[in-house]
């Protein structure tokens, strides 16, 4: 026996559980994703809306505090007037706690439906397309599936990469925003009043992330060249958005309930509105011009259930496509 041999040595040790294998795919995918400088810049940019929303929540926290309102501390009320208008601000003085819930619902609705929705689209366009397309191109399936992992674990690992990056621009900043709001609220009543918000944030992040992940992974699995998948994803978004805006402005079609399904952003937005129960929260403020203006912006004639059914069906179809595609190389 040699005392030293730079050769093949057998190994016998304890193996990790199957979740570790899926985690290895996710971790490697995330590490590769962070190599993109464009993505890093975008992620930093994606947190910028916090600079706008955090002071707003902070101000709402102070303005809606009953003790401060009773003491006539109206500095923050004036600040909130800038965001919500004078009528709502006046209402704030009369019944501060009822306004808080509505204000939070509106603010989170805007945060998810507008700023983060577009940033999500860009993040997905950078991260998603190469995830499976590069494995198809480089025939990596044979390396993966000759290992003790299943197709579901592979798909789970890849989907987790995408979900992570979508959550970085949706869930994580929203949670930080919520934590800031609670931390800077002058009393604990804010926590009790808005206890369900954290669950609503998670639900909204899931509504944005899951369909986006499955759609982009299915596009990625359909091609060897990730540029086509990127093009497909952006086209789906932009063409859908433009089509929706054009069709919704045609009077004959404006009443058709399915029009919003053309736009991924609008469909998601309708669901976000339903999850935060924005319309009911605003109506609870009573009738005024300011309330009506906000209501006009938020309220849509589109049924959320239709959006949910559509996104669920789209996700399932994409799941079938991607699963079939990753099984295909094995059939040769």
Partner 1 sequence: MIFRLERVTKLYDGIKALDDITIEVRPGAIGLLGPNGAGKSTLIKCLLGLVQITAGRVSVLDLDARRDSRRIRQQVGYMPEDDCTIAGLGGVQAVAYMGQLSGLPARTALRRAHEMLDYVGIADERYREVQTYSTGMKQKMKFAQALIHAPKVLFLDEPTTGLDPQGRDRMLRLIRNLPEKKGLSVIISTHILQDVEACCDSVIILGRGRLLVYDTLRRLRRSVNETYTVRYTGDRAAFMKALVDSGCAAQPAGEDEITVVREGDATPSAVFKSALISGAVVRQISPSRTSLEDIFLKALRG
Q: Pick one of 1, 3, 9, 192: the residue that binds partner 1 (CB under 8 A).
A: 9
Q: Pick one of 119, 135, 266, 302: the residue that binds partner 1 (CB under 8 A).
A: 135
Nearer to partner 1, 6 or 188 (CB): 6
Nearer to partner 1, 150 or 292 (CB): 150
Q: Pick one of 137, 227, 245, 280: the residue that binds partner 1 (CB under 8 A).
A: 137
CA separation for the pair 182, 235 (Å, rounded): 39
Rounded to the nearest angstrom, the gap between the alpha carbon of residue 235 and the centroid of all alpha carbons in its chain is: 19
Question: From the CB of residue 246, how many other CB atoms can be counted at a distance below 10 Å?
Answer: 12
Q: Pick one of 118, 144, 172, 323: the residue that binds partner 1 (CB under 8 A).
A: 144
Backbone angles phi, psi at 258, to 5 degrees: -85, -10
Is residue 227 part of the contact set for partner 1 (CB under 8 A)? no
CA separation for the pair 282, 291 (Å, rounded): 7
Backbone angles phi, psi at 9, to 5 degrees: -120, 135
Q: Give whole-number Cα distances, 221 to 50, 132, 135, 227, 328, in Å.
A: 34, 5, 9, 12, 10
Per rule CB under 8 A, count of chain residues that contact partner 1: 37
Q: What angle do CA 173, 177, 183 make, to 5 degrees?
A: 140
Is residue 294 part of the contact set for partner 1 (CB under 8 A)? no
Whose tokens are 């609870």? That residue is 284
Total residue count of the chain as it appears in this document: 332
Question: From the CB of residue 31, how many other CB atoms can be counted at a distance below 10 Å?
Answer: 10
Q: At its nearest, how many Å lie between partner 1 and the CB of residue 8? A: 5
Residue 233 and residue 124 in contact, taking contact as beta carbons nearer than 8 Å: yes
Is residue 130 part of the contact set for partner 1 (CB under 8 A)? yes
Q: At its nearest, how many Å lie between partner 1 and the CB of residue 230? A: 15
Is residue 179 part of the contact set for partner 1 (CB under 8 A)? no
Is residue 126 part of the contact set for partner 1 (CB under 8 A)? no
Is residue 142 part of the contact set for partner 1 (CB under 8 A)? yes
Backbone angles phi, psi at 187, to 5 degrees: -140, 165
Q: Pick one of 3, 38, 44, 148: the residue that binds partner 1 (CB under 8 A).
A: 148
Handedness of CA 147, 149, 152, 154 (dihedral sign): negative
Q: Pick one of 25, 102, 106, 119: the residue that binds partner 1 (CB under 8 A).
A: 25
Residue 328 tokens read as 């295909």
Q: Pick one of 6, 38, 44, 51: the residue that binds partner 1 (CB under 8 A).
A: 6
Is residue 4 part of the contact set for partner 1 (CB under 8 A)? no
Q: Pick one of 1, 11, 38, 255: the residue that binds partner 1 (CB under 8 A).
A: 11
CA separation for the pair 218, 222 (Å, rounded): 6
Is residue 175 part of the contact set for partner 1 (CB under 8 A)? no
Q: At its nearest, how many Å lie between partner 1 and the CB of residue 107? A: 39
Residue 88 and residue 291 in contact, taking contact as beta carbons nearer than 8 Å: yes
Is residue 139 part of the contact set for partner 1 (CB under 8 A)? yes
CA separation for the pair 149, 152 (Å, rounded): 8
Q: At its nearest, how many Å lie between partner 1 and the CB of residue 331? A: 7
| Contact characters 26-55, partner 1, x per CB under 8 A | --x---x--x--------------------
Residue 242 tokens read as 């433009």
The residues of the shown chain that bind partner 1, judged by CB under 8 A, are 6-13, 15-18, 20-21, 24-25, 28, 32, 35, 130, 134-135, 137-140, 142-150, 330-331
């Amino acid at each position: 026996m040699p005392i030293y041999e730079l050769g093949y040595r057998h190994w016998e040790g304890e193996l990790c559980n199957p979740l570790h294998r899926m985690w290895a795919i996710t971790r490697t995918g995330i590490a590769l994703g962070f190599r993109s400088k464009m993505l890093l810049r975008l992620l930093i940019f994606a947190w910028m809306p916090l600079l706008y929303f955090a002071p707003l929540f902070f101000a709402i926290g102070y303005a809606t505090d009953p003790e401060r309102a009773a003491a006539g501390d109206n500095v923050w009320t004036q600040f909130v007037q800038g965001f919500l208008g004078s009528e709502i601000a006046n209402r704030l003085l009369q019944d501060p706690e009822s306004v808080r819930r509505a204000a939070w619902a509106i603010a989170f609705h805007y945060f998810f439906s507008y700023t983060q929705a577009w940033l999500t689209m860009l993040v997905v366009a950078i991260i998603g397309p190469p995830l499976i397309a590069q494995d198809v191109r480089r025939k990596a399936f044979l390396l993966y599936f000759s290992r003790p992992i299943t197709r579901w674990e592979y798909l789970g690992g890849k989907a987790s990469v995408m979900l992570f990056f979508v959550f970085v621009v949706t869930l994580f900043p929203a949670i930080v925003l919520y934590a800031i709001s609670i931390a800077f609220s002058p009393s604990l009543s804010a926590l009790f009043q808005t206890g369900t918000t954290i669950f609503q944030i998670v639900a909204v992040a899931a509504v944005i992330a899951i369909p986006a992940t499955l759609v982009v992974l299915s596009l990625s699995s359909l091609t060897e060249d990730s540029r086509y998948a990127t093009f497909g994803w952006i086209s789906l978004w932009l063409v859908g958005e433009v089509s929706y805006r054009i069709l919704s402005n045609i009077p004959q079609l404006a009443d058709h309930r399915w029009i919003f399904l053309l736009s991924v952003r609008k469909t998601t937005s309708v669901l976000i509105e339903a999850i935060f129960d924005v319309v009911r929260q605003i109506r609870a403020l009573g009738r005024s011009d300011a309330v009506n203006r906000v209501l006009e912006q938020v309220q849509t004639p589109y049924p959320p259930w239709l959006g949910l059914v559509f996104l669920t069906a789209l996700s399932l179809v994409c799941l079938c496509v991607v699963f079939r595609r990753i099984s295909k190389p094995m059939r040769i």
